[in-house]
Amino acid sequence: MLKYFKILLCSVVAVLAVLNTLEACTTAIISGKYTVDGRPLLWKHRDSGFEQNKIMHFEDGQYPYLGLINTVDTLGTEVWAGYNTQGFAIMNSASYNLKPHTDTTKLKDQEGVVMKKALQSCATISDFERLLQSWPKPIGVEANFGVIDARGGAAYFETSNFDYTKIDVNDPAVAPFGYVVRTNYSYYGKKNDGYGFIRENAAEMLLRQAVNVNNLSARWLLQKAGRSLKHGLLQRDLWQEPLPSADEAHFAIMTDYIPRPSSVSTVVVHGVRQGQNTEWATMWTILGFQLTSVALPLWVQAGPALPQVLQSQDGQPAPLCDFSLKLKERCFPIKRGSGYRYLNLSALANKQTQGILQKLKPVENQIFERHQELMQNWQEAGQPETVQMRRWYEDIDQHIRESYNQAFGL
């Protein structure tokens, strides 16, 4: 009996290990009809076993594009979210209920390859649909691809090895409040299989509230939705609880919240209105753990001279991502057993206002305020100015490095 118990225990541990490494993102697409400025939004809160992420600029296809890349991928062969000069943007969430039992295909994990090809060659959602149709089968994917374009298009494609189902975010029958959320299962897949049901509920509640007060914006997604600590099932909101003292460890188990121990980066693509110049599109990026990092805006037309804090040299960590992960260690100080699941809230926010997020919020707010000033200047000029973008990238580098050094000694 003891022998069989040990076998069972080992099996359970193995299953838990697999579950802990799942690509488990929380995503949403919001139609421009419901955002504060009439421009669509694409949101990917990424969970992955690849903690180190970076941003790369590419000119290896029909259209130049920006992409979120695993740092170990030095050549940029796979893209996990991005947008191109045509205003076309794409991201994905892994789905775990689309592959039928009869599908014995061994080819898998090609989502990053598909998204790279899409950014290289697609200008519209129709282009992407044709790409899926023409791709040699099996594709090697099981994913919810989310896409927006500069013609008002916004859709998810629940895609398996041999087929896909399109979900039009502009269809009021599908998205009565102008948005669609996808986590780690597909609506047209096997019922009750997959993951992320509770996270989906949390995101749905947040988005519905934002719709009610006309607050759907890129900034809201980055600062509020992506850092929300309201549980989708328990309804417990950790941010609404009394702040602990800085010298008091105050732990919460981070299971099924939107930000979790496996959260590694965020991309929000702020698209353009139909007929608007695609140069107005912006890709906001948070590299690293979302509760210990800051959001930065990027533009593909600024070229390859990206902020250095977002880049990797020869496979080394991108500085901002590395800063964030070092601070994340303070948030999850328990290393043995399942301690990695327990967040010390006092490290993030406390009565003495010395928490990590409390120190970073003013830094990030300055970035948003400066971005708003630039947008106003560009609106007066009639178009964004590439020279100003590059100059601001240099300012961002200095601002980020000095801020993390002064606040945390990094």
Residue (of 46, 31, 193) closest to 125 by Cα position: 31
Residue (of 343, 368, 187) closest to 252 by Cα position: 343
Range of the domain at 50: 22-408
Helices (H), 123-248: 125-134, 197-212, 218-220
Q: Are 118 and 153 in contact (CB under 8 A)?
A: no
Q: Look at residue 378 in the predicted model and tell me its pLDDT.
A: 94
- Could you read off the pLDDT tens digit of each residue along the chain, which spans 410 residues? 444 333 333 433 333 334 444 678 999 999 999 999 999 999 999 999 999 999 999 999 999 999 999 999 999 999 999 999 999 999 999 999 999 888 999 999 999 999 999 999 999 999 999 999 999 999 999 999 999 999 999 999 999 999 999 999 999 999 999 999 999 999 999 999 999 999 999 999 999 999 999 999 999 999 999 999 999 999 999 999 999 999 999 999 999 999 999 999 999 999 999 999 999 999 999 999 999 999 999 999 999 999 999 999 989 999 999 999 999 999 999 999 999 999 999 999 999 999 999 999 999 999 999 999 999 999 999 989 999 999 999 999 999 999 999 999 99
Residue 7 located in a structural domain: no
3-state secondary structure (DSSP) of residue 88:
coil
Residue 2 located in a structural domain: no
Residue 8 located in a structural domain: no
Residue 6 located in a structural domain: no
Residue 17 located in a structural domain: no
Residue (of 251, 249, 246) closest to 354 by Cα position: 246
Sole residue written with tokens 């502009």: 170
Q: Which stretch of DSSP H or E encloses residue 282?
A: strand 282-287
Q: Look at residue 13 in the predicted model and tell me its pLDDT.
A: 35
Look up residue 230 and give its DSSP letter.
B
Q: Look at residue 22 in the predicted model and tell me its pLDDT.
A: 66
Residue 398 located in a structural domain: yes
Residue 1 located in a structural domain: no
Q: Look at residue 101 in the predicted model and tell me its pLDDT.
A: 85
Q: Look at residue 194 in the predicted model and tell me its pLDDT.
A: 97
Q: Which stretch of DSSP H or E encloses residue 266?
A: strand 263-270
Q: Residue 227: give its domain's CATH number.
A: 3.60.60.10
Residue 348 located in a structural domain: yes
Q: Look at residue 11 in the predicted model and tell me its pLDDT.
A: 39
Return d(Cα 141, Cα 160) in angstroms, integer: 6
For the four alpha carbons of 185, 41, 20 and 238, in that order, the dihedral sign comes to: negative
**Please, is 29 exposed, middle or buried when counting C-beta atoms within 10 Å of its C-beta (0-12, 13-18, 19+)?**
buried
DSSP 54-117: EEEEE-SSSS-EEEEEETT-TT----SEEEETTS-EEEEEE-SS-S-TT--------HHHHHHH
Which residues, in sequence order, are CB contacts of 218 under 8 Å at separation 6+?
Answer: 41, 268, 270, 282, 284
Q: Which stretch of DSSP H or E encloses residue 347?
A: helix 345-348
Q: Are 394 and 402 in contact (CB under 8 A)?
A: no
Sole residue written with tokens 């120190």: 359
Number of domains in the chain: 1
